[in-house]
């Protein structure tokens, strides 16, 4: 090679390195978002390494103490505005109904899989379509539907208490979070599809399928965030490469991606098989409603049936029937929405009570006054304000949906700061729930905040700052279902069982790739309560 061409090569290489270096500084975007304070980003990676290492839950709380109610963090090349103030957060949620597409392995999916993801209730950005889907979901949470679910929830709790009693008899330490997950999967299975997923059964032949189902749902939750496939960091670092990475990832999927795809397929196949059964039932009964269907609402076991006969709002696809794909998306959403969030919320409540035995004693006193052998119905829950308070306080400290994820639908003025259209915004529910300017002793578990008339009762400002189910038209659609299921489970559990927390778990290690959950589990030894 001549000296001249070597020099040209060298110059070219230097130019390339300089360009890559410059790209990693993201100068244009940095300039655009310069008015927002925030932790200094590192070259190319932004703050993503700290977010992964510490979990978004802890990182946002920590940064709020330094930078206040509005700051920016960098997910690689993408700035995200984090809001930790209740009033601002509500304003963002109400005015911006769209969620940004999460960074996660699902972003890399191709074809039908991607459509399945992006057009479901969680991620669709089409306002009319979303309204039409929500309308189809809503009857599942009418009072009459919820009335019907109480017996399924009690039977789910029965199975759980039986398992806990067996462990208590052997003084066996268990991961209560996993055990609760089996129960919530069983309840969601029966409430939405009318089948027993047998996730709580001990018999080997029934459990293999059920275990696979639970494992699939866990995989989807655990790989929801940026910590998943090796392809994800490339998109985080350089979003314009997304189309190329999608192709490469399809031909060279790594283990994480294969696991995720297998998990999605398992859940989708389950939903598809159930839909086929429902279609056959409808055909053989000429579309008649399933037995036990209430006049308004959805009978337990017929969510799928209800969807299979649901029609769109007239403004969407001329008011046509839901397509199979749309029905499957909702069924998939019900399984995912109803499984881990509720299990985690219950797990965090049991953890908090086991770490605060005086509160547990007060709760058991109230449960005993209600009756140690009584099945609570939907309306009975109202008679147990302290149990409700214990659950609410756990939701304040550990909200399983710890971020309301949004995308600015237009240019916004946020507290005097200009936010361009399309900006990713995270309303940090955990930051709001632990804001020391709003809450006295924000890190303490004090259920009395939620007891009417208590000297520690939450102020109006505090009540307004409590949003574990999000806010606005994208708020949690399953809130009433989750509330009923969790309270019935707590009442049934504490009628018979108390817990001893295994050592070394305070404070609890949590992870938050997608939803907030314990990093390793919640380890307790169940103790049978003495019969009086």
Nearer to ligand HEM, 129 or 231 (CB): 129
Nearer to ligand HEM, 75 or 466 (CB): 466
Binding status of residue 190 toward ligand HEM by CB under 6 A: no
Q: Are strands 424-428 and 78-83 parallel, antiparallel or unpaired?
A: parallel
Distance of CA 47 to the CA centre of its chain: 23
Binding status of residue 221 toward ligand HEM by CB under 6 A: no
Q: What is the DSSP string of 455-482?
A: TTPPPHHHHHT--TT--GGGS-TTHHHH
Interface residues for ligand HEM in 482-521 (CB under 6 A)?
482
Q: How far is CA 480 from CA 144, 145, 150, 331, 404, in A?
A: 12, 11, 12, 18, 18
Residues 45, 59, 469, 523: which binds ligand HEM (CB under 6 A)? 469
Known binding-site residues for heme equal 476
For ligand HEM (CB under 6 A), the number of binding residues is: 27
Interface residues for ligand HEM in 315-344 (CB under 6 A)?
333-334, 337-338, 341-342
- Pairwise CA distance, residues 363 & 385, whole Å: 9
Nearer to ligand HEM, 107 or 259 (CB): 107
Nearer to ligand HEM, 153 or 476 (CB): 476
Burial of residue 147 (CB within 10 Å: 0-12, 13-18, 19+) is: middle
Binding status of residue 182 toward ligand HEM by CB under 6 A: no
Binding status of residue 24 toward ligand HEM by CB under 6 A: no
Nearer to ligand HEM, 58 or 529 (CB): 58
Binding status of residue 475 toward ligand HEM by CB under 6 A: yes
Q: How far is the CB of 47 from ligand HEM (least distance, A)?
A: 22
Angle subtended by helix axes 357-370 and 324-355, to nearest 10? 110
What is the number of other CB atoms lying within 10 angstroms of the CB of residue 367? 23
Q: How far is CA 357 from CA 345, 351, 364, in A?
A: 18, 10, 10
Distance between the two ends of the chain, CA-based, in angstroms?
94
Binding status of residue 51 toward ligand HEM by CB under 6 A: no
Q: In this structure, what are the phi and psi dihedrals at residue 524, rounded to the nearest 5 degrees?
A: -140, 160
Known binding-site residues equal 476
Nearer to ligand HEM, 337 or 521 (CB): 337
Stretch that binds ligand HEM, among 148-156, 316-324, 395-403, 494-502 (CB under 6 A): 395-403
Q: How far is the CB of 170 from ligand HEM (least distance, A)?
A: 30
Asked whether the beta carbons of 96 and 406 are under 8 A apart, the reply is yes
Q: How far is the CB of 158 from ligand HEM (least distance, A)?
A: 19
Q: Which residues bind ligand HEM (CB under 6 A)?
A: 93, 121-122, 134, 333-334, 337-338, 341-342, 345, 399-401, 404, 468-472, 474-478, 481-482
């Amino acid at each position: 090679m001549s000296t001249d061409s070597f020099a040209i090569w060298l110059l070219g290489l230097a130019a390339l390195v300089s360009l890559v270096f410059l790209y990693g500084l993201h100068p244009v975007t940095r300039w655009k978002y310069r008015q927002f304070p925030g932790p200094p980003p590192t070259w190319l990676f932004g703050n993503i390494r700290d977010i992964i290492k510490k979990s978004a839950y802890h990182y946002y709380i920590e940064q709020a103490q330094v930078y206040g109610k509005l700051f920016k963090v960098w997910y690689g090349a993408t700035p995200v505005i984090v809001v930790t103030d209740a009033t601002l957060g509500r304003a963002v949620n109400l005015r911006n109904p769209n969620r940004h597409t999460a960074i996660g392995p699902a972003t890399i999916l191709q074809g039908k899989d991607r459509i399945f993801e992006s057009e479901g209730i969680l991620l669709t950005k089409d306002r009319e379509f979303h309204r039409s889907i929500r309308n189809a979901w809503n009857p599942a949470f009418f009072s009459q539907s919820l009335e019907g679910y109480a017996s399924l929830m009690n039977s789910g709790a029965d199975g759980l208490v039986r398992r806990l009693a067996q462990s208590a008899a052997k003084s066996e330490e268990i991961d209560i979070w996993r055990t609760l997950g089996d129960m919530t999967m069983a309840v969601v299975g029966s409430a939405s599809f009318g089948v027993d997923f047998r996730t709580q059964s001990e018999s080997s032949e029934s459990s293999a399928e059920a275990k696979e189902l639970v494992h699939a749902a866990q995989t989807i939750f655990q790989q929801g965030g940026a910590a998943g496939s090796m392809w994800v960091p490339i998109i985080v670092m350089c979003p314009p490469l997304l189309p190329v990475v999608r192709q490469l990832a399809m031909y060279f999927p790594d283990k994480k991606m294969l696991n995720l795809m297998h998990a999605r397929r398992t859940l989708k196949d389950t939903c598809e098989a159930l839909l086929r059964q429902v279609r056959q039932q409808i055909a053989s009964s000429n579309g008649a409603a399933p037995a036990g269907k209430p006049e308004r609402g959805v009978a337990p076991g017929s969510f799928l049936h209800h969807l299979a006969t649901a029609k769109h709002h007239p403004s969407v696809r001329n008011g046509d029937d839901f397509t199979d794909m749309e029905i499957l998306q909702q069924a998939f959403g019900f399984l995912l929405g109803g499984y881990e969030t509720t299990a985690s919320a219950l797990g965090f409540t049991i953890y908090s009570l086991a770490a605060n035995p005086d509160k547990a004693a007060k709760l058991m006193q109230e449960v005993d006054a209600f009756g140690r052998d009584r099945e609570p119905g939907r309306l009975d829950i109202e008679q147990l304000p302290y149990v409700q308070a214990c659950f609410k306080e756990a939701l304040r400290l550990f909200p399983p949906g710890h971020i309301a994820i949004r995308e600015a639908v237009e240019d916004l003025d946020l507290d005097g700061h200009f936010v361009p259209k399309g900006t990713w915004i995270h309303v940090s529910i955990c930051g709001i729930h632990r804001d020391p300017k709003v809450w006295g002793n924000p890190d303490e578990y004090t259920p009395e905040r939620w007891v009417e008339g208590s000297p520690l009762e939450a102020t109006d400002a505090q009540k307004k700052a409590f949003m574990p189910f999000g806010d606005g038209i994208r708020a949690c659609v399953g809130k009433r279902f989750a509330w009923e299921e969790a309270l019935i489970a707590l009442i049934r559990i504490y009628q018979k069982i108390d817990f001893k927390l295994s050592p070394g778990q305070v404070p609890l290690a949590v992870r938050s790739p997608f939803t907030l959950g314990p990093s390793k589990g919640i380890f307790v030894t169940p103790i049978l309560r003495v019969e009086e």
